[in-house]
């Protein structure tokens, strides 16, 4: 699972005329903001003298920064592409001013290692998120919580109790059930055009909802309610919050109320839903049924949090904040990876054929579905998932970090309170680290110089889940979900493009997480052997 990216990036997505108008108004309202922008320019002009005095220069900054907006106009609609192009000209470490906020842009494996390994203790915090602050009040979960004692406590709870390897394995029956339902839906519409984007998203959403709340999510159409709230949640995090880039504007109550009103509606919906779920689980516990549940293979996240409430001193709001993190982070990562993987397989028939041969060889003839026990020898399946994550990391710029103290990175002074943007998308397509970097070649993880490269935080040319203290704690949950579903999609069906379509549009849309612009419509043809059994 990849935790949600700060809404800061959404500022880059505004149409430039609207952005210019908003910032022109801001310039009249806040003259000090303009003067701070001017001070940035003076700061850049004095980099040489700064270096002589302190022996450490600031990182290079692209020319063309404007008053008030800084370098925002250089970002365009695809910031990960714009930042990669700027890095080619100005270096793997750049300092950009986005609004009134300094941002360190990290664009190489070596620079990423410096930030997320060698100086991880300095860069392990998070910048402020207006939406998160309003939504969670003082009780954040893990994703947006700044580094400190409460974050360490919450992180320990999540990694030691909610997302351990053992706990992820315990959801095996839930994965089997949800995969079986998805495959049955596809069979009902076999040989016709199916919206696989919607089907895969629904599968991911339902599985996360079941992991969090157990069978309660199936009552009263709650799975659809979960989906609506999660989509609203992600849209708000992806929204335009001018205060994050122009902190002085926070003093204007009108701007704060615009953001606050929308977030409070979301907050109310989350609390209504989660209060009901927690109360239902607590009632089960009070009837001593939770002990019976512990003897079962599957115990949901709410059960676990209730059992740990006294040990960790969890308030109701803290529990809900952690649960919201699980909901919001869990759906998108798995869905995006599966959709991109299936799209790449259809576009590369020779890769599809090789994977089908592996999956069908390693699944016994008497089985209608691939089980998790069958996955152990499917090395090509794992290589395809790696290659999908390399070319299409769900969060192309990861979750922003923030420096807590002044530091020295590769001979540059990085001031405290600098926001850090790691361009994982550019790093995983860097020709210095990858041969034929723009091509979909899963075999690179089977043979060759990158055979041992993995995404679990030790290989910095490949960090779709981040690394260091802030590595995504839900990595194993996402991987188990993607492996099981993708293997069954390939085992049970052959896949074709709809009549008249010769290729799949792989255009990306940048946002909170990166999605394909077009939905994935495919025609599934049932595999004969599966039909016979």
Annotated binding site for heme: 472
Which residues have a Cβ under 8 Å from the Cβ of 71 and sit 6 or more positions away?
61, 62, 64, 65, 96, 97, 98
Whole-angstrom CA distances from 314 to 107, 139, 322, 533 are 39, 10, 10, 50
What letter would DSSP give residue 208? H
Instruction: Determine the Cα–Cα distance for residues 301 and 289; give it in Å rounded to an integer.
Output: 16
Paired tokens of 270? 């989350």
Instruction: Determine the Cα–Cα distance for residues 370 and 385; give it in Å rounded to an integer.
Output: 17
Instruction: Determine the Cα–Cα distance for residues 335 and 238; give it in Å rounded to an integer.
Output: 18
8 A C-beta contact, residue 423 and residue 104: no
**Short-list 90, 100, 91, 44, CA closest to 67:** 100
Whole-angstrom CA distances from 253 to 249, 259, 444 are 9, 10, 54
Instruction: Determine the Cα–Cα distance for residues 444 and 428; give it in Å rounded to an integer.
Output: 13
End-to-end CA distance of the chain: 35
| Residue the block writes with tokens 């849309």 | 509
Give the residue numbers of the binding site. 472
């Amino acid at each position: 699972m990849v935790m949600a990216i700060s809404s800061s990036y959404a500022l880059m997505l505004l149409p430039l005329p609207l952005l210019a108008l908003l910032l022109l108004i801001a310039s009249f309202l806040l003259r000090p903001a303009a003067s701070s922008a001017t001070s940035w320019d003076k700061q850049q002009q004095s980099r040489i003298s700064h270096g002589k005095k302190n022996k450490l220069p600031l990182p290079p900054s692209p020319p063309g920064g404007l008053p008030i907006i800084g370098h925002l106009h250089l970002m365009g609609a695809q910031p990960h592409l714009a930042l990669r192009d700027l890095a080619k000209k100005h270096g793997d470490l750049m300092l950009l001013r986005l609004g009134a906020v300094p941002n360190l842009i990290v664009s190489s494996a070596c620079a990423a290692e410096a930030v997320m390994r060698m100086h991880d203790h300095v860069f392990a915090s998070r910048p402020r998120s207006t939406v998160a602050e309003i939504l969670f009040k003082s009780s954040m979960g893990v994703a947006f919580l700044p580094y400190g004692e409460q974050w360490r406590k919450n992180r320990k709870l999540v990694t030691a109790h909610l997302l351990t390897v053992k706990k992820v394995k315990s959801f095996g029956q839930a994965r089997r059930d949800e995969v079986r339902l998805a495959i049955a839906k596809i069979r009902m519409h076999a040989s016709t055009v199916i919206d696989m984007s919607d089907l895969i998203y629904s599968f991911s959403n339902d599985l996360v909802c079941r992991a969090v709340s157990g069978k309660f999510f199936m009552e009263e159409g709650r799975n659809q309610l979960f989906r609506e709230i999660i989509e609203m949640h992600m849209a708000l995090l992806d929204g335009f919050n001018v205060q994050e880039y122009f902190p002085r504007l926070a003093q204007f109550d009108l701007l704060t109320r615009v953001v606050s009103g929308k977030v409070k509606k979301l907050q109310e919906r989350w609390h209504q839903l989660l209060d009901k779920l927690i109360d239902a689980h607590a009632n089960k516990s009070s009837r001593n049924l939770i002990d019976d549940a512990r003897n079962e293979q599957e115990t949901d996240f709410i059960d676990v949090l209730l059992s740990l409430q006294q040990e960790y001193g969890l308030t109701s709001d803290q529990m809900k904040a952690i649960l919201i993190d699980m909901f919001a982070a869990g759906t998108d990562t798995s869905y995006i990876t599966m959709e991109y993987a299936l799209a790449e397989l259809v576009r590369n028939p020779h890769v599809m054929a090789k994977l089908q041969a592996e999956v069908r060889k390693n699944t016994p003839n008497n089985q209608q579905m691939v089980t998790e026990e069958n996955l152990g020898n499917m090395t090509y399946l794992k290589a395809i998932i790696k290659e999908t994550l390399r070319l299409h990391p769900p969060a192309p710029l990861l979750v922003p970090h923030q420096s807590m103290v002044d530091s020295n990175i590769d001979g540059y002074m990085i001031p405290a309170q600098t926001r850090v943007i790691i361009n994982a998308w550019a790093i995983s397509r860097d020709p210095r680290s990858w041969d034929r970097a723009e091509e979909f070649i899963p075999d690179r993880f089977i043979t060759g110089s990158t055979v041992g490269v993995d995404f679990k935080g030790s290989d910095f040319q490949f960090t779709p889940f981040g690394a260091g203290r802030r590595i995504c704690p839900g990595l194993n949950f996402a991987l188990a979900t993607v492996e099981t579903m993708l293997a069954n999609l390939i085992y049970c069906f052959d896949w074709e493009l709809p009549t008249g379509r010769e290729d799949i549009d792989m255009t990306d849309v940048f946002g909170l997480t990166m999605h394909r612009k077009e939905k994935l419509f495919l025609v599934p043809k049932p595999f004969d052997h599966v039909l016979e059994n």
